[in-house]
Amino acid sequence: MSYSFAGTSVLKGVLKVRFANSDARARQLAKLGDTDVNIVPLPSVMDKISAVAYLLESGFVKTDAVRKALEAEVAPKAKPARTIKVRIKPVKSKTKVKIKVDRTQATESEVDALYKAVYGNK
């Protein structure tokens, strides 16, 4: 999306980066309770990344907090890992599995691992 205005405002103590296509957005933010509204016109229509780069280079940044907010706006955001829950019904089988192990050739830990793999526990 492209914007003609960009800046910052403070809403409930949190510094927010704002983008707009009209200077009327500043008045609207003030009506909605934002304080320290500072929205400036951009030299041309820009996307968010270009607008933030312009604000950082143009002398718009007066404090370190504003610089950090602008940099955080364009920083890649980590996507949360998706968790997929799957319910698997236990399979009831009439077939019995019998395992015969020659204990003279297998160690006890190998036998235990084999039983765990088949039955889930010893």
Look at residue 103 and tell me whether its pLDDT is greater than 60: no
Residue 63 lies in a domain: yes
Reported pTM: 0.58
* pLDDT level of residue 116 (50, 70, 90 thresholds): confident
Q: Is residue 107 part of a domain?
A: no
Q: Is residue 92 part of a domain?
A: no
Helix axes 48-57, 64-74, angle to 10 degrees: 160
For the cut 80, the answer to whether the pLDDT of residue 45 exceeds it is: yes
Lowest mean pLDDT among 5-14, 72-81, 82-91: 82-91
Three-class SS state of 62: coil
100 assigned to some structural domain = no
CA–CA distance, 25 with 18 (Å, rounded to integer): 9
